[in-house]
């Protein structure tokens, strides 16, 4: 059991900037070990990060057309920060960038933009399909995981290729290292869980800027993310239900799972709580989570689904399947009284903390799983905002 006194001490260490010491203390608590005195200096080499299934995180790396370059100095500095609960995707800080042909299909555009407001600014990359002038089109907002870039996330998920098939825009906000040293979205900070402030206001601002500048159908705007990005996607759905018609959460946590550093570690290890919406229809939600995920406990996927069940009294239908030569999975469909799918939960058996069905051209993917990108986009386009 976690001691409240020790949690308070970990919080104090965090507020004074002693992240390494706070991390080590929380890890010892979670393992049930006796804590060392708070004044003891902790060497980064002694820190033991949350176990990550590396094979699932960077699958069949030897088959990639590129080799991964590791810079010893950045890797050493990353080791000091990788336990910070942005849901770090463990791996080398320096990776060969994906080839442009792996990011977007020929004949399309992948362009850079910037959003600025009183709450701050963020850069983003925008995918523009080749038939973008035909009519108002859907928009998908994609929130990357820790240490990733928009280019890597686009290459790994292959969302741009599917979006070209279905004629959708896709925007990829970018978290700078100045906001989080591992480029994690700060899903666990109370100030970044509200509609009109912090990172939710920036993501919503990017969304509205793209809607203003391009022919976007305002009834068909969606948000999805991986890991820390998935946790932020859940927050966006909870705080901006009037903006997003559906949400996709891969290996993330429910909105309200944590509000500070200690509760974030507990949520990642054991599964966090969740805030259940009061009144109003739930945002349709599709969840992917590997049952071998040792970075974000699979119970967190269940918590996300529970938000929909408790909010709408939905009924579940469970089916099983297997990817040829790949992972088995259990799919739970939640439908409303009219039979409309409101939520889907894909529990991928044998998968770790990685994008299911993704491409090794990107980072942190598991090609052996069901195609999360295709299923998310299919689910999204089945839903639109009322009115």
41-48 own/partner pairs: CB under 8 Å, 24+ apart? 44/20, 44/79, 44/80, 45/79, 47/20, 47/23, 47/79, 47/80, 47/83
* Residue 334 contacts residue 315 (beta carbons within 8 Å): yes
Cα angle value 143/149/155 (rounded, 5°) = 85
Alpha-carbon span 320 to 346, nearest angstrom: 10
Q: Identify the active-site residue in 149, 201, 227, 363.
A: 227
Under DSSP, the state recorded for 91 is S
Query: Is there a catalytic annotation at residue 227?
Result: yes
Pick the closest to residue 371 from 324, 339, 335, 333 (CA basis). 324
Tokens representing 250 are 């891969």
Give how far Cα 284 sits from Cα of 21, 137, 227, 270, 308, Å: 40, 19, 19, 25, 8
Task: Classify 219 as helix, strand or coil.
Answer: strand
Tokens representing 94 are 């320096």
Give how far Cα 239 sits from Cα of 19, 66, 107, 141, 163, Å: 29, 40, 36, 15, 25
Cα angle value 182/151/372 (rounded, 5°) = 90
Q: Kind and range of the H or E element at 229? A: helix 228-239
Strand partners, 114: 123
Annotated active-site positions, please? 227
């Amino acid at each position: 059991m976690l001691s409240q006194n020790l949690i308070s001490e970990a919080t104090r260490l965090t507020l004074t900037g002693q992240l390494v010491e706070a991390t080590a203390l929380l890890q010892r608590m979670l393992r049930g070990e006796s804590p060392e005195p708070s004044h003891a200096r902790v060497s980064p080499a002694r820190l033991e990060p949350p176990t990550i299934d590396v094979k699932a995180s960077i699958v069949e790396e030897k088959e990639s057309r590129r080799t991964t370059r590791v810079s010893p100095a950045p890797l050493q500095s990353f080791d000091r920060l990788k336990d910070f609960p942005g849901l770090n995707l463990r791996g080398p800080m320096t990776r060969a960038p994906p080839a442009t042909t792996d990011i977007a299909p020929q004949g399309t555009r992948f362009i850079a933009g910037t959003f600025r407001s009183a709450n701050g600014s963020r850069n983003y990359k925008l995918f523009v399909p080749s038939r973008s002038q035909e009519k108002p089109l859907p928009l998908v907002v994609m929130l990357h995981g820790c240490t990733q870039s928009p280019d890597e996330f686009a290459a790994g998920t292959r969302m741009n290729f599917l979006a070209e098939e279905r004629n959708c825009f896709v925007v990829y906000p970018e978290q700078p290292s100045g906001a989080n040293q591992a480029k994690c979205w700060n899903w666990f900070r109370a100030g970044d869980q509200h509609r009109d402030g912090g990172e939710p206001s920036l993501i919503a601002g990017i969304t509205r800027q793209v809607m203003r500048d391009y022919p976007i159908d305002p009834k068909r705007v969606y948000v999805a993310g991986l890991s820390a990005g998935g946790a932020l996607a859940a927050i966006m759905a909870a705080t901006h239900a009037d903006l997003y018609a559906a949400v996709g959460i891969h290996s993330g946590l429910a909105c309200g799972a944590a509000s500070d550093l200690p509760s974030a570690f507990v949520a990642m290890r054991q599964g966090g709580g969740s805030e259940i919406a009061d009144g109003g229809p739930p945002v349709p939600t599709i969840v992917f989570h590997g049952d071998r995920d040792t970075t974000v406990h699979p119970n967190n996927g269940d918590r996300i689904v529970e938000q929909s069940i408790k909010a709408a009294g939905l009924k579940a239908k469970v089916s099983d399947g297997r990817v040829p030569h790949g992972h088995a999975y259990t799919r739970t469909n939640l439908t409303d009284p009219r039979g409309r799918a409101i939520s889907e939960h894909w529990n991928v058996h044998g998968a770790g903390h990685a994008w299911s069905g993704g491409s090794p051209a990107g980072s942190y993917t598991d090609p052996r799983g069901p195609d999360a990108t295709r299923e998310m986009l299919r689910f999204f386009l089945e839903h639109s905002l009322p009115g």
